[in-house]
Amino acid sequence: MSGLIETVLNSEEKIVLWQFIGELRTSDKRYLLRNDIVCAFEDFCKRNGNSQKIDSSPLGQMIHYTQEIILEEESICIVYRPKIARQEVYRLREDTPIEHLSVQQLLDVRDHFVNQFHPDEGDVFEIDFEPFYDYSPTIRDSKNIGKGVRFLNRYMSSKLFQDPRQWLETLFNFLSLHCYNGITLLINGRIKNQHQLSEQVKDAIFFLNQFSDEIPFEDFRYEFQSMGFEPGWGNTAGRVKETLSILDELIDSPDDQVLEAFLSRVPMIFRIVLVSVHGWFGQEGVLGRPDTGGQVVYVLDQARSLEQQLKEDIILAGLDGYGIEPKVIILSRLIHNSDGTRCNQRLEKVHGTDNAWILRVPFRDFNPNMTQNWISRFEIWPYLETYAIDAEKELYAQFHGRPDLIIGNYSDGNLVAFLLARRLDVTQFNIAHALEKSKYLFSNLYWQDLEHLYHFSIQFTADLIAMNAANCIISSTYQEIVGRTDSVGQYESYESFTMPNLYHVVNGIELFSPKFNVVPPGVNENVYFPYTRTDERVPNKREHLEDLLFTLEDPSQVFGKLDNPSKRPIFSMARLDRIKNLTGLAECFGRSPALQECCNLILVAGKLTVNESSDSEEREEIEKLYRIIDEHNLYGKIRWLGVRLPKADSGEIYRVIADRRGVFVQPALFEAFGLTILEAMISGLPTFATQFGGPLEIIQDKVNGFYINPTNLEETADKILEFVTKCDHNPDHWIQLSNKAMERVYSTYTWKIHTSKLLSLSRIYGFWNFISKENREDILRYVESLFYLLFKPRAKELLEQHMHR
């Protein structure tokens, strides 16, 4: 039992606890999450004159660590999280001993809460991945979660030290495999075993000592081949000697840093697939459409940077003279009825690259009314298995062979990445961008009520399949995996949960697996750069956007005429959906006359009328935004732009706001990472961003930006007002924070940093995949069972619904 809970129950605070529980019972809610619990406790303490209990007392601390309270008839069930990635469950009754509950018991409690009037009888199907992670080392300390590669390198180097003969043989076999289109790389048949490899490495280093470091590899290539070495070690004598010296050190005295340094140089990644299936994936005319935006920007920028980094790596490896060219393919779906976009083109070159392409593969025409049109990410599931089969053939044709690495994006792309990686025997990486389970509260608990809209039963099953099959999971932040001391991470939410009447997840993901790595994305510095770099800005574009933002009267593009366009602008740009919460920002602005007095609110939100949108959630938010404007009489104080901006304009629009000393607000109810935050900060805009999700790791509060609680409208308005008031009195205050925001991005969030790390990981996990393949087969078989027994039947049911539309 937790010592803190025991302390409370053995003290006078026990009485206060039950008084608080009694007040909770007077409300309509019977299932409370942490934000509800903390707010209710603060109100309770203030009303009873015990404000000091909020932070300082054992009861206050206990409440701080309580994630859930379920109010049962004669007891309460508490989900208590005293440490990151550690959860305890207790049932409390007055005047009876505390009862510790197992995960299975907690899931039963949740099921009963949902089905109390129609309880489900009999046992429920349980999903448990814990036994299958015995093939992998496990991280012990939660602070090392997300640093999986470091832990994995230590593990592999220790194995190399403990059993050098076996591991040297494995390393030799691994190096012997490398080739590119028939060109042998690294070592040839003259080196026949690990003993010869060790000897020849030392001889090669001695041989290279006669050359100056800058001598090209080609000058000694043939002598090198006679010793058993092929191209790939480096482009100069100095680089080759350095690489071989690292290998020599690895053989003689292995450690984790040497292993990482060596594997990071192995030329094994030339052809990469980035899977992004569901949305309108294009380079023009798609941003702002449903299911696009941040993910499209992310994947396009990543593709450009990966191709550039691969070219640099090939040159350093000495392979640029052998006809070896990197190729990056973004795999998406072809949409026949493309609404004037290029999403109906099979192949499209990525702008600014030599050999990066968007490959669009159509869905099979099970039902042309569906498959020839855009399909929501929530409805896409029935088409993915056959899509993967068709995509495999297309990828073979484009690469003239297999890819070296497949990176999935979002739930559907990760599932397709699993299907392709399994068929092609290729290393699989996952990137979630967002896991809907965290975005929609109680989405698993009430999945049956939401199934007709979101089909979470299929999506959450797909998530479990893909994340457990992946060799490596890339997250943008630490909290994306396991949250913080006061919040549960996105992946952590999959550790255990119930979908009543469908299944229980007892152990859904091993959070302490070394597969998790934090590799934050960058920002496209050609598009997003500081407002102060005036020489790089286009005057005509700047003037056009100033007109659009502040003065243009065009009902087809803009709603709202500003009474005073010179007021400081509060700016936000996002899709109009519930999670992005632009309507919440408008409500916040509407409730603060003081904020309206000194600022205008400028929103770029894609659509102006419900007739323009086919997305039900977007239509609801459009209607809600009009109601808020009317209710708070915001006419003359708000501008709402219903436009899709070209990418270059989306960069300049931040700078135009910065010219007027504005601020950027990202009010999402939850944000997995927040690319718009990086874009605003690198442009020089002081930024206020949600405290729920990834922004907590981008922004350092009150140093280079500000956290806001978007559910607390008064507090959010006060924070913005406090900042702009200080800026009114001291203009340098705005400039100081602007400079710090730009410094933050340049020091931490660039695509160069991202792709260098990502390619290093791909080589290390490629090696780990090679040596652990046999041991991973058990978990992959279990994953396949879930695919065929759970995913496919439910996807088939959804397809049958589609056939009747």
pTM above 0.75, yes or no: yes
Distance, CA of 387 to CA of 277 (rounded, Å): 9
68: left (phi over 0), alpha (psi -120 to 50) or beta: beta
Query: 710, 729, 749: which is the final residue of a domain?
Result: 749
For residue 143, is it within any domain?
Answer: no
Task: Provide the residue range defining the domain that includes 474.
Answer: 271-480+518-522+753-803
| Run of H or E including 498 | strand 497-499
- For residues 541 and 447, membership in a common domain is answered with no
CATH number of the domain bearing residue 36: 3.10.450.330
For residue 489, is it within any domain?
Answer: no
For residue 669, is it within any domain?
Answer: yes
Which residues touch 707 (CB under 8 Å, ≥6 apart)?
688, 689, 690, 691, 695, 696, 699, 701
For residue 506, is it within any domain?
Answer: no
Largest CA distance in the chain: 86
Which residues touch 744 (CB under 8 Å, ≥6 apart)?
681, 698, 699, 700, 704, 705
Distance, CA of 370 to CA of 259 (rounded, Å): 50
More confident residue, 424 or 48: 424
- For residues 391 and 470, membership in a common domain is answered with yes
Which residue type sits at 627?
R
Distance, CA of 347 to CA of 357 (rounded, Å): 7
CATH number of the domain bearing residue 302: 3.40.50.2000
Three-class DSSP category at 562:
coil
- For residues 251 and 160, membership in a common domain is answered with yes
pLDDT for res 611 = 87
Using a pLDDT cut of 70, give the percent of the chain over it.
Answer: 98
**Tens-digit pLDDT profile for residues 566-599:** 999 999 999 888 889 999 999 999 999 999 999 9
For residue 594, is it within any domain?
Answer: yes
* Section 435-458 average pLDDT: 93
For residue 633, is it within any domain?
Answer: yes
Q: Which residues pair with 66 in a beta bridge?
A: 80
* Section 380-387 average pLDDT: 97
- For residues 603 and 473, membership in a common domain is answered with no
pLDDT for res 288 = 67
**Tens-digit pLDDT profile for residues 694-731:** 898 899 999 999 999 999 999 999 999 999 999 999 99
For residue 126, is it within any domain?
Answer: no
**117 pLDDT tier (thresholds 50, 70, 90):** low
Four-CA torsion 599, 603, 608, 610, nearest 10 degrees: -110
More confident residue, 224 or 649: 224
Residue 266 has pLDDT above 90, yes or no: yes
**49 pLDDT tier (thresholds 50, 70, 90):** confident
57: left (phi over 0), alpha (psi -120 to 50) or beta: beta
- For residues 374 and 467, membership in a common domain is answered with yes
DSSP 336: S
Average pLDDT, the chain: 92
**Tens-digit pLDDT profile for residues 184-207:** 999 999 999 999 999 999 999 999
- For residues 765 and 681, membership in a common domain is answered with no
* Section 431-458 average pLDDT: 92
Which residues touch 621 (CB under 8 Å, ≥6 apart)?
576, 577, 578, 582, 583
CATH number of the domain bearing residue 223: 1.20.120.1230
Using a pLDDT cut of 90, give the percent of the chain over it.
Answer: 75
Distance, CA of 392 to CA of 401 (rounded, Å): 10
- For residues 334 and 460, membership in a common domain is answered with yes
More confident residue, 586 or 46: 586
Which residue do the tokens 């990472």 mark? 673
**Tens-digit pLDDT profile for residues 666-680:** 999 988 788 899 999
For residue 369, is it within any domain?
Answer: yes
* Section 111-138 average pLDDT: 84
Using only C-alpha atoms, what is the Rg of the chain? 28
pLDDT for res 486 = 81
For residues 741 and 704, the answer to whether their CB atoms sit within 8 Å is yes
pLDDT for res 119 = 57
pLDDT for res 9 = 87
* Section 400-423 average pLDDT: 97
DSSP 120: P
**741 pLDDT tier (thresholds 50, 70, 90):** very high
pLDDT for res 53 = 59
pLDDT for res 55 = 65
- For residues 300 and 214, membership in a common domain is answered with no
pLDDT for res 485 = 83
- For residues 761 and 711, membership in a common domain is answered with no
pLDDT for res 18 = 93
State the total domains in the chain: 4
Distance, CA of 328 to CA of 331 (rounded, Å): 10
pLDDT for res 441 = 86
Residue 118 has pLDDT above 80, yes or no: no
Residue 438 has pLDDT above 90, yes or no: no
For residues 412 and 376, the answer to whether their CB atoms sit within 8 Å is no
Query: 730, 749, 768: which is the final residue of a domain?
Result: 749
Which residues touch 31 (CB under 8 Å, ≥6 apart)?
68, 69, 70, 71, 113, 442, 445
Query: 263, 284, 316: which is the final residue of a domain?
Result: 263
pLDDT for res 613 = 83
- For residues 561 and 643, membership in a common domain is answered with yes
Residue 429 has pLDDT above 60, yes or no: yes
* Residue-wise DSSP of 148-194: HHHHHHHHHHHHHHHSHHHHHHHHHHHHHT-EETTEE-SB-TT--SH
pLDDT for res 2 = 73
- For residues 257 and 377, membership in a common domain is answered with no
Residue burial 728-765, b: 16+ Cβ < 10 Å; e: rest: eeeeebbeebbeebbebbeeebbbebbbbbbbbbbbbb
- For residues 9 and 153, membership in a common domain is answered with no
For residues 217 and 235, the answer to whether their CB atoms sit within 8 Å is yes
Cite the beta strand spans of 594-686 per DSSP E.
Answer: 599-604, 638-641, 663-666
